[in-house]
Amino acid sequence: MKILVTGGAGYIGSHTVKALCENGHTPVVLDNLSRGHKPSIPAGVEFLEKDIADPDLAKVMKDLGIEGIMHFAAHSQVGESMQKPNIYYENNVVGSYRLIESARLAGVKNFVFSSTAAVYGEPDVVPITEDSPHRPTNVYGRTKLMIEQMLSDYSNIYGQRYVALRYFNAAGADPSGTIGEDHSPETHLIPLILDAALGKRPSISIFGTDYDTPDGTCVRDYIHVNDLASAHLLAMEYLTKGGDSNYFNLGSGNGFSVKEIVETTKEVTGIDFKVEIGPRRAGDPGTLIASSDKIKQLLGWNPTHSNVKDIIKDAWNWHKNHPNRYNDK
């Protein structure tokens, strides 16, 4: 199947492109490289250095014979979204509208969307199910929810079928060590801890030790990036077999505290690094854990890489062998 992968040079997109290739599909990567990395694209994969809002995109899809779209292209930093909402609404919402409309004009009916658990905001109950209230607490989460609503309207009115996948904390790297996580600036916990282990930063900070959790630090649900990739393939297969539009959580169902992640990283790397304690950050919920029962039951998804020690081991393999990440900016 020929699949357009927007943001295919990004973190989760690049891992999904690799999985598509390994499973007999033909991905076409579309990325403007504003935040993606060309070296992450496998050799031989067609690459279009374009924006998702490109006015010629419908024609490109038709000419290439695109049969489905996996949409990863988005700005995704929560803090930045609260400081620069304009670029989030422009890139995420307006850009996604242009992409969805191009797909309609090109007659591409199958659309898998990279959404986020940030659409839920502060949960009333954990684990969080797909029917939990949508109360995003930041601009990033609001933009993703708006895109889901657009997809729902296009599905109901035009018959464009979609699956939205709401990730919890994506982490890890492909075990091959050839691709991994490279954000600038980096805001994700595990890469920041590994930078401390590598001596690239003087310490790692834990923000808040007085949460209502077993050890007082925030608890999160970490999911291996390769398990996310496999979910995208299952979602596209579901759509091509005639499945109705739907949305699913993607998490391991297990919660790990910041302290547990720090201690496991010390164990995996064999390096003792400095840890500093700071005050809580505004808007950080104490516990976020997913219920992924729905996708397991309906699509047969089974996360096989998401043991937290394996996640950190794979991430460490990438970081220690690529201390400057892709080094392409």
- Sign of the CA dihedral with 317 first, then 290, 11, and 108 last: positive
- Residue 140 designated active-site: yes
Measured in whole angstroms, the distance separating CA 76 from the mean position of its chain's CA atoms is: 9
Per annotation, catalytic residue among 140, 154, 167, 211: 140
What gap in Å lies between CA 13 and CA 165, rounded to an integer? 13
State the burial class of residue 97 (Cβ atoms within 10 Å of its Cβ: 0-12, 13-18, 19+): middle
Cβ-contact 35, 4 below 8 angstroms: no
- Beta-bridged to residue 205, according to DSSP, are 276
What gap in Å lies between CA 231 and CA 197, rounded to an integer? 31
How far is the CA of 294 from the CAs of 73, 86, 137, 261, 324, in angstroms? 25, 34, 24, 27, 39
Kindly give the interhelix angle for 225-240 and 11-22, rounded to the nearest 10 degrees: 60
CA atoms within 13 A on the CB side of 84: 9
What gap in Å lies between CA 327 and CA 193, rounded to an integer? 19
Residues labelled catalytic: 140
